[in-house]
Amino acid sequence: MNTKISKVMYNSIGEELGIEVGDKLISINETIIKDIIDYKFLIADEYLEIEVEKVDGEIWQYEIDKDYEEDLGLEFEEGIMDKAKSCNNKCIFCFVDQNPKGMRETIYFKDDDSRLSFLQGNFVTLTNMKDEDIDRIIRYRISPINISVHTTNDELRTKMLNNRFAGKINERMQRLSDAGIEMHAQIVLCPGLNNGEALKSTVEDLYKLYPQVQNIAAVPVGVTKFRDGLFNLNTYTRESAKKEIMDLLPLQEKYIKETGNPFIRLADEFYVMANMDVPNEEFYGEYDQLEDGVGMIRILRQIIDRDLEFLDKDTNSSFTFVTGSSAYEEVLKMCNKIMIKNSNLNLKVEKILNKFFGESITVAGLLTGGDIINQLKDKELGKYIMIPRNMLRANERVFLDDITIEHMENTLNRTVIVFDYTGEGLINLINECGKRED
């Protein structure tokens, strides 16, 4: 374990106590800290006795009276204070296995860690968890947990995850449900395997655990050009995507009548492939499944329509928006809507084909810096290149292929602006860029 402190928040309890960067947290209320879950659970109490090892090796002890659940304001060198648990599955649809050789090592690491599910929203399969791991989730009330279900059919799940222990999903989710743990489910849909009637059966099984299972996000399987020697997977066509949408409608309507929400929602990719409009705002509720690409189109429209009144009508600049094939038409509509509001603006949209993974991968979040640079370098560009944040590694300015924003700016001789993929704050960014030129 690594409990070395990397940051002490300004004006926090930790700063008031004199805790410093480089110190190590040893224990809280006589319990040795093993990982971030121990820390998050134990600091919730109103009275704490903590031990800290200072940089010089001295052990300092503190007694703290605070509000319930008030944080100490500490961040740690290793986010979970431990190595992430790797995945024991060999899923037939795993995207990591479809990466080319020669990329950075972290690209090939598959995590399956409930701590990352709780802290960062990662999905876990529960296959590598022992009974004591489930006990710990229940004892510490680790909630919500994001679970990669894919199917509730034990035999089919064993086949799809290529793991003989994968068939206990119903039993484990029932146990978590009985303990009041909130869960969000994900299904990667592989045509001919877990879709159609198999999907309906999975949805109905999971609905029995509602409301502890809050929702299901279903996404289409992604197939890159690097699948030599891997399981032969089918992909969705316009017709099969439309059939998936229409087949789920009766279930969604039933659940809306019973609970007020459709319980299962399909990723926007399905609607784009089927050439169908996405559902209305009410269908998506609080947009809890955006990370799975569920509701991104609808929330983008909603936010742009809301923020258009704040667009500076006098601002005058040029922008090139970069996106993938799936979102191209939607981003084009958005830009046209903005230019109608302010005709002084010049907004262009460039559709980038995914040469790196293969053109069957159409989502913006899997575009690489190299593809963007190669396909923009000979084109007439605006003063600013607009990149959605989901193209970059979390909290970094680096693309999947390790190309940095700075490298892109130097190569294309343009300023790159990163905006939220939901459109939040985009109008304000356009206004700010216009002000720079005044």
**Do 371 and 259 lie in a common domain?**
no
**What's the rounded Cα separation, in Å, for the pair 104 and 196?**
37
Cα-Cα-Cα-Cα dihedral sign, residues 108, 110, 116, 121:
positive
Which of 258, 275, 294 is the endpoint of a domain?
294
**What's the rounded Cα separation, in Å, for the pair 167 and 154?**
4
**Do 226 and 360 lie in a common domain?**
no
Sheet holding 59-65, edge to edge: 31-32, 24-28, 47-53, 59-65
**Do 49 and 110 lie in a common domain?**
no
> Has residue 437 got a pLDDT over 70?
no
Q: CB–CB of 183/137 below 8 Å?
A: no
Is residue 91 in some structural domain? Answer: no
Whole-prediction pTM = 0.83
Is residue 87 in some structural domain? Answer: no
> Has residue 119 got a pLDDT over 70?
no
**Do 117 and 188 lie in a common domain?**
yes
Question: What pLDDT sits at residue 112?
Answer: 43
Neighbours of 312 (CB within 10 A): 17
> Has residue 337 got a pLDDT over 90?
yes
**What's the rounded Cα separation, in Å, for the pair 311 and 2?**
48
Q: CB–CB of 32/56 below 8 Å?
A: no
**What's the rounded Cα separation, in Å, for the pair 398 and 390?**
11
Confidence band of 263 (pLDDT split at 50, 70, 90): very high
Which of 244, 265, 294 is the endpoint of a domain?
294
The domain total for the chain is 3
**Do 400 and 359 lie in a common domain?**
yes
* Mean pLDDT, rounded, for 109-134: 62
Q: CB–CB of 426/341 below 8 Å?
A: no
> Has residue 422 got a pLDDT over 70?
yes
Torsion angle of alpha carbons 168, 170, 171, 177, nearest 10°? 140
**Do 322 and 216 lie in a common domain?**
no
Work out the mean pLDDT of the chain and round it to a whole number.
88
**Do 161 and 278 lie in a common domain?**
yes
Is residue 86 in some structural domain? Answer: no
Confidence band of 85 (pLDDT split at 50, 70, 90): low
Question: What pLDDT sits at residue 227?
Answer: 82
Question: What pLDDT sits at residue 105?
Answer: 54
> Has residue 109 got a pLDDT over 60?
no
Confidence band of 90 (pLDDT split at 50, 70, 90): confident
Which of 76, 105, 136 is the endpoint of a domain?
76
**Do 47 and 180 lie in a common domain?**
no
What's the gap between Cα 120 and its chain centre?
Answer: 8
> Has residue 98 got a pLDDT over 90?
no
Q: CB–CB of 202/187 below 8 Å?
A: yes
- What CATH number is attached to the domain comprising 181? 3.80.30.10
Is residue 372 in some structural domain? Answer: yes
Is residue 236 in some structural domain? Answer: yes
**What's the rounded Cα separation, in Å, for the pair 113 and 86?**
7
| Greater model confidence, 248 or 90 | 248
In terms of residue numbers, what domain contains 11?
5-76
- What CATH number is attached to the domain comprising 328? 3.40.50
Question: What pLDDT sits at residue 166?
Answer: 87
Q: What is the 8-class DSSP label of residue 3?
A: -
> Has residue 80 got a pLDDT over 60?
no
> Has residue 32 got a pLDDT over 70?
yes
Is residue 23 in some structural domain? Answer: yes
pLDDT in tens, 360-375: 999 999 999 999 999 9
* Mean pLDDT, rounded, for 240-250: 97
Q: CB–CB of 75/14 below 8 Å?
A: no
**Do 427 and 280 lie in a common domain?**
no
Question: What pLDDT sits at residue 394?
Answer: 73
Is residue 172 in some structural domain? Answer: yes
- What CATH number is attached to the domain comprising 72? 2.30.42.10
Name the residue among 51, 80, 81, 50 with its Cα closest to residue 64: 50
**What's the rounded Cα separation, in Å, for the pair 24 and 32?**
12
**Do 252 and 165 lie in a common domain?**
yes
**Do 266 and 389 lie in a common domain?**
no
Question: What pLDDT sits at residue 159?
Answer: 94
> Has residue 106 got a pLDDT over 60?
no
> Has residue 403 got a pLDDT over 50?
yes
Question: What pLDDT sits at residue 71?
Answer: 84
> Has residue 135 got a pLDDT over 90?
no
Partners of 65 in beta bridges: 47
Is residue 82 in some structural domain? Answer: no
**Do 276 and 172 lie in a common domain?**
yes
> Has residue 322 got a pLDDT over 70?
yes
pLDDT in tens, 37-77: 778 778 888 898 999 999 899 999 999 998 887 888 888 87
Question: What pLDDT sits at residue 114?
Answer: 44
